[in-house]
Amino acid sequence: MHSAIVEQAGKHPSSVSGWVNCLIDWLIHNEAASQFCFGVGMPPLQTIGGVKMVSSNNYATVMETLRKGMSAWLTGETLSKVEEAMGGTLDGEKIYCRKARQLATNIAPRCLSYFSTFIVQITKKVAEQNVTQIANLAVLESLPAAIARGIDSPQKLAFMALTKTQYRSRVETHLDFNRRLNTLEIPEDSGYSFVKQLVASKLT
């Protein structure tokens, strides 16, 4: 991962979704690392892929299915839409959304969010060693929490944190933010703390 981040220095993703896609791309090309991310045997991916065993033959396909689910998760889709994005069936009276629930309760908040903390640490260390500034710093700093909570921007993450006493769901957070602060822009070099202050000022 360190070498991949070094190679991309100065060309890092500018969005949460971009970072997630880069992480999934990296995991696809480093299958052994997925044993650390998803556990030995990668049981969470078995649910996502609807397979009894994840092997080299189906691993990339399962990861592409996960990519589709993460895209829906981060953009505020309902669990049923996340399920549909990953090819899950919604037929019948009882809709369990097994794939979406696996993503929402385990893969996003535990596996990918935890792994993304290494991205943050390594990227900051590389920038420090090269004496360079990180573009879209707020996106990077908010990455682990954004992945865990299904949020696609530091602005929305700050909005969720500042309005949490109103008990909004993930989906409601996206909808309400888009209604109230969708045009809010942030400087590329600003960190997450600045973004949170900016959002707070718009809510008063």
Selection from 88, 82, 84 nearest residue 105 by Cα: 82
Where are the domains positioned within the chain?
2-203
DSSP string, 108-176: IIIIIHHHHHHHHHHHHHHHHHTT-PPTTHHHHHHHHHHHHHT-SSHHHHHHHHHTGGG---HHHHHHH
Q: What is the torsional sign of CA 53, 39, 26, 161?
A: positive
Better-scored residue on pLDDT, 5 or 203: 203
Better-scored residue on pLDDT, 91 or 8: 8
Mean pLDDT (the chain, rounded):
92
Distance between CA atoms of 155 and 144, rounded to whole angstroms?
Answer: 14
pLDDT above 90 as % of the chain: 75
The whole-number average pLDDT for the span 48-54 is 90
pLDDT tens profile 71-85: 999 999 999 999 999
Confidence of residue 89 (pLDDT cuts 50, 70, 90): confident
pLDDT tens profile 139-172: 999 999 999 999 999 999 999 999 987 767 999 9
* DSSP character at residue 12: -
Q: What is the torsional sign of CA 181, 165, 158, 195?
A: positive
Q: Which pLDDT belongs to residue 93?
A: 56
Q: How far is CA 115 from the centre of its chain?
A: 11
Distance between CA atoms of 114 and 173, rounded to whole angstroms?
Answer: 23
> Is pLDDT at 91 greater than 80 in this prediction?
no
* Three-class DSSP labels, 52-102: CCCCCCCHHHHHHHHHHHHHHHHCCCCHHHHHHHCCCCCCCCCCCCHHHHH
User: Cβ distance 203 to 162 under 8 Å?
Assistant: yes
Helix axes 154-162, 137-149, angle to 10 degrees: 60
Q: Which pLDDT belongs to residue 94?
A: 60
